[in-house]
């Protein structure tokens, strides 16, 4: 077979020796590159989250972005949007394994926790961030590769941990300055309570078969709870009148729900009870919640979560309770942008101007000491093809310095260097002011000037 192909290839006439111009390749639809300066906003968000998680004693867990397909089919439920139509699943050509790009991370977290027996000495509080993959129609707030940050507490049965996680998310919105986010809360009860409700729900929906759309009819016996989640206006009346799961909850489930609510009330976290909130995955029980905004059109859910006390067992672990949430980073950043409160990208502290390449050894030595003190320094480098060793005119270097957003330029001119000095020039506050600084004093002087700028911008703000 191979040799046959090779022979055919060899028989083809050679058209030209000149390599054809390569066709430009583009990224996969719905999967975005995150470029500077916007990528700084992602880092800002990640930093905020790391700080907050640390203060709540949640620790970072990193799992692979590829998992066995069976994990998601078993974990999320066969009749969910994700498993039915959104997963990137493929066979590993090299060994025939059935694999899937993770559409969410909870299943993988649970797999890892079980695989490494992490609950042997008690509950664990964990968080993750990273890309997820779902084959959906790309639109604002909905992508095929998107990014989630999630927090999971495993091994804890009590309502206080549900509340801790919700308060954690609410605190994050506060620290990010997110406005117009409301919390919707519901309880899905326990499997036996859901089973009783399900019988009543199916009976109700069967009385209105004429109103149900195709999707609802298909789900009538496989996943009727999801029908309550419908956005179809024609079905709203039937769905409103459906038996409420809340009315089927037993004493223990109600007590758990009320305990969560009591802590939220005491913590000043307001919420709206939404008896129709069901969430997209099958694994939830008891508390479920979503943080929703009206400012992002139909992609208004920025964070969702709940309790999943049976998932660990379902994935093959020793039964243990768990609760968690995941937020969509794109949607959080989009909401901040919509509000006009995304932090602006900041330039470096210092831009090093290098009139002549012969100064480079001194430049390197000096800027490394600045960087070692925590200052951010951008060094001028020769630009463009064929520029050779030439560093470019002073004018073009100053243009670059300005464009970089730097606070100060440090000019390593030949005359100054001969005197053991450099010139420090303000580019922003008091732009144009300049002074000669002894090379030996550069680090201290620049630090002083930067501190002055910071103090000034703080009194202005």
The two structure tokens encoding residue 289: 């919640």
Q: Could you say which of 72, 73, 100, 104 contacts ligand ATP (CB under 6 A)?
A: 104
Q: Is 304 in the site for ligand ATP (CB under 6 A)?
A: yes
In 32-158, alpha helices (H): 39-55, 69-76, 81, 106-115
Residue of this chain nearest to ligand ATP (CB atom): 328
Return the HEC string of 58-87. Answer: CEECCCCCEEEHHHHHHHHCCCCHHHHHHC
Question: For tokens 């949607």, what's the residue?
Answer: 331
Q: What long-range pairs does 79-86 form, CB within 8 A, spacing at least 24?
A: 79/219, 79/222, 79/223, 79/226, 79/282, 80/223, 80/226, 80/280, 80/281, 80/282, 81/280, 82/134, 82/280, 82/281, 85/135, 86/134, 86/135, 86/136
**Stretch in the footprint of ligand ATP (CB under 6 A) among 140-148, 191-199, 231-239, 433-441:** 140-148
CB contact at 8 A, 185 and 271:
yes
- Between residues 249 and 326, which has the closer beta carbon with respect to ligand ATP? 326
- Between residues 165 and 437, which has the closer beta carbon with respect to ligand ATP? 165
CB contact at 8 A, 303 and 290:
yes
Residue 229 Cβ vs ligand ATP, minimum distance, rounded to whole Å: 8
Question: For tokens 């009860």, what's the residue?
Answer: 189
**Stretch in the footprint of ligand ATP (CB under 6 A) among 48-56, 105-113, 243-251, 295-303:** 295-303
Q: Is 108 in the site for ligand ATP (CB under 6 A)?
A: no
- Between residues 317 and 324, which has the closer beta carbon with respect to ligand ATP? 324
Q: Is 292 in the site for ligand ATP (CB under 6 A)?
A: no
Q: Is 75 in the site for ligand ATP (CB under 6 A)?
A: no
Q: Is 306 in the site for ligand ATP (CB under 6 A)?
A: no
Residue 250 Cβ vs ligand ATP, minimum distance, rounded to whole Å: 27
- Between residues 104 and 309, which has the closer beta carbon with respect to ligand ATP? 104
Q: Is 136 in the site for ligand ATP (CB under 6 A)?
A: yes
Q: What long-range pairs does 235-241 form, CB within 8 A, spacing at least 24?
A: 235/211, 237/211, 238/204, 238/205, 238/208, 238/211, 238/212, 239/276, 241/204
- Between residues 87 and 303, which has the closer beta carbon with respect to ligand ATP? 303
Residue 108 Cβ vs ligand ATP, minimum distance, rounded to whole Å: 14
Q: Could you say which of 328, 347, 355, 392 contacts ligand ATP (CB under 6 A)?
A: 328
Q: Could you say which of 63, 301, 366, 397 contacts ligand ATP (CB under 6 A)?
A: 301
What whole-number distance in Å separates Cα of residue 281 and Cα of residue 74?
11
The two structure tokens encoding residue 320: 């243990």
Q: Is 275 in the site for ligand ATP (CB under 6 A)?
A: no
Q: Is 226 in the site for ligand ATP (CB under 6 A)?
A: no
Q: What residues are paired with 306 via a beta bridge?
A: 288, 324
Q: Could you say which of 331, 380, 425, 449 contacts ligand ATP (CB under 6 A)?
A: 331
In 134-288, alpha helices (H): 159-176, 191-206, 214-219, 224-227, 236-240, 251-266
- Residues 307-326 as x/- pattern, contact with ligand ATP by CB under 6 A: -------------------x
Q: Is 107 in the site for ligand ATP (CB under 6 A)?
A: no
Question: For tokens 């390593």, what's the residue?
Answer: 412
| Residues at the interface with ligand ATP (CB under 6 A) | 104, 134, 136, 141-143, 146, 148, 280, 299, 301-304, 326-328, 330-331
């Amino acid at each position: 077979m191979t040799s046959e192909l090779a022979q055919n290839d060899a028989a083809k006439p050679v058209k030209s020796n000149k390599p054809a111009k390569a066709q430009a390749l583009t990224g996969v639809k719905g999967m975005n590159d995150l470029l500077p300066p916007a990528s700084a906003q992602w880092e800002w968000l990640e930093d905020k989250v790391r700080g907050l998680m640390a203060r709540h004693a949640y620790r970072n867990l990193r799992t692979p972005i590829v998992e066995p397909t069976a994990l998601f089919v078993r974990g999320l439920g066969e009749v969910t949007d994700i498993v039915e139509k959104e997963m990137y699943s493929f066979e590993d050509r090299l060994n025939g394994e059935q694999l899937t790009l993770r559409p969410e991370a909870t299943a993988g977290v649970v797999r890892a926790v079980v695989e490494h027996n992490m609950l042997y000495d008690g509950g664990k509080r964990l968080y993750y961030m990273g890309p997820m993959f779902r084959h959906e129609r790309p639109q604002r707030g909905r992508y095929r590769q998107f990014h989630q940050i999630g927090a999971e507490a495993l091994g804890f049965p009590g309502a206080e941990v549900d509340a801790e996680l919700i308060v954690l998310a609410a605190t994050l919105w506060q620290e990010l300055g997110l406005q117009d986010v409301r919390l919707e809360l519901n309880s899905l009860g326990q499997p036996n309570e859901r089973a009783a409700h399900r019988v009543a729900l199916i009976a109700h929906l069967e009385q209105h078969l004429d109103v149900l759309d195709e999707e609802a009819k298909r789900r009538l016996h496989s996943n009727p709870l999801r029908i309550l989640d419908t956005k179809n206006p024609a079905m709203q009346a039937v769905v409103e009148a459906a038996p409420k799961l809340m009315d089927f909850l037993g004493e223990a489930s109600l007590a758990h729900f009320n305990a969560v609510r009591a802590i939220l009330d005491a913590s000043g976290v307001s919420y709206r009870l939404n008896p129709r909130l069901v969430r997209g995955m099958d694994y939830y029980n008891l508390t479920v919640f979503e943080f929703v905004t009206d400012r992002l059109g139909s992609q208004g859910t920025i964070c969702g979560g709940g309790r999943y006390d049976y998932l660990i067992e379902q994935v093959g672990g020793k039964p243990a309770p768990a609760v968690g949430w995941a937020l969509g980073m794109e949607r959080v950043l989009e909401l901040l942008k919509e509000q006009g409160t995304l932090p602006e990208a900041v330039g470096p502290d210092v831009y090093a101007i290098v009139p002549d390449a012969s100064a480079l050894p001194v430049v390197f030595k000096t800027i490394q000491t600045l960087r070692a003190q925590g200052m951010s320094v951008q060094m001028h480098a020769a630009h463009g093809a064929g520029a050779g060793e030439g560093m470019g005119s002073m004018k073009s270097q100053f243009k670059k310095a300005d464009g970089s957003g730097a606070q100060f330029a440090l000019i390593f001119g030949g005359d100054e260097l001969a005197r053991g000095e450099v010139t420090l020039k303000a580019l922003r506050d008091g732009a144009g002011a300049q002074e000669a600084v002894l090379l030996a004093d550069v680090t201290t002087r620049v630090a002083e000037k930067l501190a002055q700028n910071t103090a000034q911008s703080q009194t202005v703000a």
